[in-house]
Structure 1
């Protein structure tokens, strides 16, 4: 069995989070997975509603903490949830991830066979249109994967590879002391965790360009730490094994997102201290990807979508209102 830990703080979009947590808990009962929510209880009506709904699930438990700081601290909430795990394997999950758990059991079997010590899952972000189709059973994860690799646009925003969705041994979480709780708000606590997890298993990322902090639409064009961690996801991309992030609205003015710069500075100070300035680094993941395709006898043309790296464009928006706002912003 796998135990998934999910951080919950209802300071943002509470109804959306409660509904998604309820969906995950209902699905977990049917798919033999345990859920532990690390919950920051702010003593609001939303917190009471959340506890009331989740208490009905036999597969889910809530580990509550009342943080004095007003900032959202997902690292702290994950660590709180971890204290109740009693299974050998665990899953780092997010409340916005669609609960199709069979994928994680596939890779659990691989871990038990000694294939790899952990797996990081690529995550495909859905548009509002794609999320509604999935929620209303007008499509499924297999069909969505086929649509993505066939260059469909209306259902998808972007692909995150790596993401924070990780399957690992419970003892490894403890060995690296879990998440660093000095990160508050949005960003970099997951990359920090993954770098330490990789180091535990003697995966060396001490390259001169490790701390480069630039995003790319395509994971094959990733740079810096995203590139090196993303290389660990290439075999899952070749299997076309993706998790799906359900749509939610985003307000960039919230304090939750404004902490990204300070979080990156913490990340840089921790992981940029002892880099080998003479270390060789590939400029991207394309070479590694092509080598893996060749070794497996896979036709690269079946993965052409992964080479599409243009910036945000009008064809990514799934409503007339969003297209007009894009054109006139």
Structure 2
């Protein structure tokens, strides 16, 4: 397996130093050498210098400095371009191997035990356990005099000395403290998935702010500061106003843990293009802040150098829902080449395999990614070609369990060898068995379902509501006639229409044997089927209540069959289903109502041990998991379609790679009442008082407006005024005035 991000062999942290030597600033190489000498290599931390566009004559010296100090040297070919510190950092992240990444500029210094404490702090903070958590390390900026004094001292406690002097207000040696610096600590895969820094920011300035803005929105932990788009241009503020006040909170945790770095003074010549772009960057930050708040579009994901494939084909277009859904996965899959499958078939839907082979060779394509290979005839032709020729591919689609998705290199749904019994049939350990039982209980009692459902009322409550009257129940979940699994894997039953006709005939016979057949329409279907003997339940009936009530279940190949197995309900499968196995369910012997009635009434016992083995395999070995963002779209025929617009993956399993596992995401909101907001406490209280006063003033104004309106009505039409009065004894006064 590839040893990638989050693999057992990964280091905890990659420290990336973006660098470019400049002959006009010889101190830069000296600063780099001084920084590299501070690094102490451990198994938990790796150090990388990204040499981005240094002159050829200086490159060898830089490489030697790195080699002498055990630092990885990586050349980034950007000669002739403006030095972009953001681009250099991004390049470093694509080459890093740590679970998390951070950045150090050559002018930064730290205490001897800095990285030991930082790694411990990362662990306590939850970096790389919770995907979206991140923080920054505060930076104490020294003056020129303070820098000279700092470099002249060799005492280990000099970091603490300068920190205390800052607290005492020493303006001679210390310029300022920036609670939010460029030294961020963030999960590496998450950084890659959000695309790192925007390439529009060149040189120095605001590139970090824009990235922090997107990361904060993704995490959603901090309440937004008022007048957020205002730039105070200072960190020294006691008001929670403007984006800098919110950014300052990113470093507050580390500051309270006494984790910080020191920035050495250096000249900033305007002639250097690195600094010359500051004004241009300052002009565009607001546009990108607002744009991201509006569309939530990150730059394209960055790709790890250790990705599964160098380049792969994906059928579709960039910036579409399928592409956006794979934001978290693309960094470890590889560089994507978007292709329209229709370009590789002729008018009669025959594959132009020579053209396809030429494209693969020309672009060095190593694999194909199919979002549902049966989606259209052209895509199916390419999929069949891959299977015939053995060309590597992955099929990607939603799984049968909540939040589940699969990346399958052995087929799609029923046609895949990944579900074969030899992959999952084994004795579980006692811990594995207990864990899968807990998981099944969580699924069956939780609110997370594949499609929207009504409120749970229990099987017993549903029996009373539907007036089952003690009869046995056969539950039949209906599917969508247009679904891939119906069009291609319906088996002997042929179609949804034929299945419904069969079920209705069987219902007539089962009714005479004390059974009732309950059918539930698919939540997204608009067409109501006509049934004479089976009963259609209300649309808002929860399918788990129906399963709880049911004595047996009949499906073509609906995913409800997996839930039936987890609940130990006998399930009869009429189509080709990936979960159809002896002991877990039964394949219907024939599409014959009389034979089926005999099969249902004789029943069987579900082998729960086999169910546990199968669900354990799906949950822990095969499925990936991610929370989808969806929207409902109405089609031309009136039916509804559930469009997945994004997926927040928290477990990723790609064949041939180590799994990426995070904790399941939970909403994290930091209250303004927490100690984190202590600096802004007075401002927040005053703002709260201002809001209360504004509410009271609004109420008073409304009361005044109300009485003013009544007074105007009195003078305009006294007859109506007294006649409409709520005070009964005033109403007769209306007769003293003429009606208008």
**TM-score in terms of structure 2 length:** 0.36
- Structure 2 counterpart of 1:322: none
Q: CA deviation at 1:189?
A: 0.8
Determine the structure 2 residue equivalent to 1:142: 160
- Distance in 1 between residues matched to 2:678 and 2:209, nearest whole Å: 21
1:80 aligns with 2:80: no
Q: Which of 131, 134, 145 in structure 1 is aligned with 2:147?
A: 131
**Secondary structure, in 3 states, of the residue corresponding to 1:233?**
helix
Residue segments in structure 1 that go unaligned for 5+ positions in a row: 277-281, 293-329
Structure 1 counterpart of 2:58 = 46
Q: Tell me the residue number matched to 1:228.
A: 246
Distance 1:123 1:161 in 2: 6
Question: Rg: which structure is higher?
Answer: 2
Most deviating of 96-105 and 174-183: 96-105
- The match for 2:138 among 122, 128, 150 is 122
8 A Cα contact 1:120 1:232, kept in partner = yes
Paired with 2:67 and 2:25, the residues of 1 have a C-alpha distance of 17
1:103 and 1:220 mapped to 2: Cα distance? 29
Are residues 1:155 and 2:170 paired? no
Following the alignment from structure 1 to structure 2, what is the Cα–Cα distance between the partners of residues 219 and 44? 45
Q: Distance in 2 between matches of 1:21 and 1:57?
A: 11
Change (3 A) 1:155 1:218: same
Q: CA deviation at 1:4?
A: 0.6
Question: Residue 23 of structure 1 aligns with which residue?
Answer: 34
- Range that drifts further, 160-169 or 136-145: 136-145
Mapped partners of 1:220, 1:253: distance in 2: 35
Which residue matches 1:269? 287
Name the structure 1 match of 2:186.
168
| Structure 1 residues 156-305: aligned runs within 5 Å | 156-203=174-221, 209-216=227-234, 218-220=236-238, 223-273=241-291, 288-289=678-679, 291=681
User: Structure 2, unaligned stretches of length 5 or more?
Assistant: 1-11, 128-132, 295-671, 683-740
How many angstroms apart in 2 are the aligned matches of 1:27 and 1:123?
17
Tell me by how many angstroms 1:86 deviates: 1.1
- The 3-state SS of whatever aligns with 2:40 is helix
Could you list the per-position Cα deviations for residues 125-144 of structure 1 after superposition, in whole angstroms to 9, with x for gaps in the alignment? 11222222222225510111
Higher RCO (C-alpha under 8 Å, 6+ residues apart): 1
| 1:145 positional shift | 0.8
- Return the offset for 1:165: 0.9
CA contact (8 A) 1:216 1:222 kept: no
| Superposed CA offset, 1:74-100 (max 9, x none) | 111111111221121221221111043
Q: Structure 1 CA distance, aligned partners of 2:99 and 2:229?
A: 33
CA deviations on 1:21-71 (whole Å, 9 max, x unpaired) are: 21222221367642111212343433332223222221x112212225431
Distance 2:229 2:222 in 1: 14
Query: Which is worse superposed, 236-245 or 175-184?
Result: 236-245
Q: In structure 2, how many angstroms separate the alpha carbons of the residues matched to 1:8 and 1:222? A: 35
Q: Partners of 1:161 and 1:221 in 2: how far apart?
A: 15
Shift of 1:209: 2.2
Task: Pick closer, same or farther for the CA change 1:267–1:92 going to 2, 3 Å.
Answer: same
Q: Secondary structure at the match of 1:251?
A: coil
Query: What is the Cα deviation at residue 223 of structure 1?
Result: 4.8
Aligned to 2:76: 65
| 1:13 CA displacement | 5.5
Q: Distance in 1 between matches of 2:17 and 2:241?
A: 28
Tell me the distance in 2 between the aligned counterparts of 1:184 and 1:263.
7
Matched, 1:36 2:48: yes
Asked if 1:55 corresponds to 2:63, the answer is no
CA distance in 1: counterparts of 2:121 and 2:676, whole angstroms: 25
C-alpha contact (below 8 Å) 1:122/1:241 kept by paired residues: yes
Q: What are the Cα deviations for residues 219-271 of structure 1, in whole angstroms up to 9, with x where unaligned?
A: 54585221111122233344443310011112234332221222123321111
Q: 1:161 to 1:114 in 2, by over 3 A?
A: closer
**Is the 8 Å Cα contact of residues 124 and 245 (structure 1) preserved in structure 2?**
yes
1:136-172, CA deviations, whole angstroms, 9 ceiling, x for partnerless residues?
2255101111111122222111222211111122222
Match of 1:3 among 14, 23, 42: 14
* Alpha-carbon distance between aligned partners in 1 of 2:23 and 2:29, rounded to the nearest angstrom: 11
| Displacement of 1:176 | 1.3
Secondary structure at the aligned position of 2:231 is classed as coil
Deviation at 1:105, TM superposition (A): 3.5
CA offsets per residue over residues 182-211 of structure 1, 9 Å max, x none?
Answer: 211110111112112222222366666222
Which stretch of the first structure deviates more once superposed, 67-76 or 103-112? 103-112
On the 8 A contact 1:179/1:193 being kept in 2, the answer is yes
Cα separation, 1, equivalents of 2:135 and 2:112: 14
Query: Does the CA contact (< 8 Å) of 1:108 and 1:167 recur in 2?
Result: no
Deviant stretches of 4+, over 3 Å: 11-14, 30-33, 203-208, 219-223, 235-241, 273-276, 285-288
C-alpha distance in structure 1 between counterparts of 2:160 and 2:278, whole Å? 34
2-side partners of 1:209 and 1:69: how far apart?
A: 40
CA contact (8 A) 1:176 1:200 kept: no
Count how many residue pairs are aligned between Structure 1 and Structure 2: 284
